[in-house]
Amino acid sequence: MQSFPLERDGLVPVYVQIRKRLLDRITSGDLKAGDLMPSEQEISGTLGVSRMTARQAVKSLCDWGIAYSMRGKGTFVSPVKLEKNFRQAQSFTEEMNALGFRPSSQVFALKAERAPTEVAEALKAGRNSEVIRLDRLRLANSKPMGIECAYLLHSMCPGLIHVFDPQASLYETLWKQFGLSIAVADEIVEVGLPSAAAASLLRISRNKPVFLFTRVSYARRGHSMQAVEYVKSTYRGDRYKIANRLTRAKLKLAGISV
């Protein structure tokens, strides 16, 4: 167990930080499938937390299917294939960097609220679940590219509101602070015209076509995927395009809406 001190400022719960360290040891290969994880008592003593707190971290890994416990023996890493070399699914920030643009953002909303019905259903969460809403204008080389309105399940990233740096990459923060790695996303792409508000923020006229994205992102959680993020975006049609590599199966996903 790494023994550098935990942050006790109350921004990110201690058990989340501990869980993150355990996850790091698994993804780095330090702890392999079948290996014995540090015991609750050991974590408690090493990191100076109560055993219940250590247990909360270990328990959540078991809930995620990443570990399993045996009474009297210990807790072991599940034989689940957690991909090494964990690269993040690309966020706007990473995408712009890769293309040599300088990404930036203007955050105009960051708050907790109750999930709208559409969001709750997409995230498979109960109606009125708590979500964190993050509205941002995305820019490349200081030129407006698109607007994103993201809803994140609060239960997956408690404390995000306090630790999120408005200029940082959301995906990077999700990984560094909460051990969440976005692995896959389902996306609906439509075309349309911008709302008056969107047109103003994007500095285009209302008759310019735009991309409309609806995306649900998933993090790997043991054997299954956990919906984490629901995003509605509007992107300028004159500055954005999509490149897809389609397989035969994927060609069939293209759909019609009346």
Options 5, 10, 79, 100; binder of DNA; rule CB under 7 A: 10
Which 163-202 positions form the footprint of a copy of itself (CB under 8 A)?
182-193
Residues facing residue 137 across a β-bridge: 106, 147
CA dist 29 and 211 (Å) reads 41
Q: Give the integer Cα–Cα distance in Å for 234 and 42.
A: 49
What residue 132 binds from a copy of itself, DNA, none (CB within 5 to 8 A, per partner kind)? none
User: How far is 32 from 235, CA to CA, in rounded Å?
Assistant: 42
Which of positions 37-56 make contact with DNA (CB under 7 A)?
A: 37, 39-42, 48-53, 55-56
The C-alpha atoms of residue 136 and residue 145 are separated, in whole angstroms, by 11
The answer to whether the Cα torsion of 65, 15, 150, 133 is positive or negative is positive
Tell which one of 151, 164, 178, 211 touches a copy of itself (CB under 8 A). 211
Residue at token pair 């996303």: 185
Nearer to a copy of itself, 9 or 243 (CB): 243
- Using rule CB under 8 A, residue 32 touches a copy of itself: no
- Written as one letter, the residue type at 242 is I
Task: Identify the burial level of 110 via C-beta atoms within 10 angstroms of its C-beta, where 0-12 means exposed, 13-18 middle and 19 or more buried.
Answer: middle
Contacts (CB under 7 A) with DNA, residues 56-115: 56, 58-59, 69-75, 112-113
24, 76, 82, 163: residue in contact with a copy of itself (rule CB under 8 A): 76
Nearer to DNA (CB atom), residue 38 or residue 194: 38
CA 193 to chain centroid, in Å, comes to 28
Per partner kind, with CB cut-offs from 5 to 8 A, the member of a copy of itself, DNA, none near residue 16 is DNA
- Residue 99 binds which of a copy of itself, DNA, none (CB < 5-8 A, kind-dependent): a copy of itself
Is 203 one of the binding residues for a copy of itself (CB under 8 A)? no
Considering only residues 126-145, where is the footprint of a copy of itself by CB under 8 A? 126-130, 140, 145
Q: Is 237 in the site for a copy of itself (CB under 8 A)?
A: yes
Out of DNA, a copy of itself, none, which partner does residue 50 contact, by CB within 5 to 8 A per kind?
DNA
From the number of C-beta atoms within 10 Å of its C-beta (0-12, 13-18, 19+), residue 95 rates as middle
What does the alpha-carbon distance between residue 178 and residue 181 come to, in Å, rounded to a whole number?
Answer: 9
> Which residues here bind DNA, judged by CB under 7 A?
10, 13-16, 37, 39-42, 48-53, 55-56, 58-59, 69-75, 112-113, 155, 158, 161
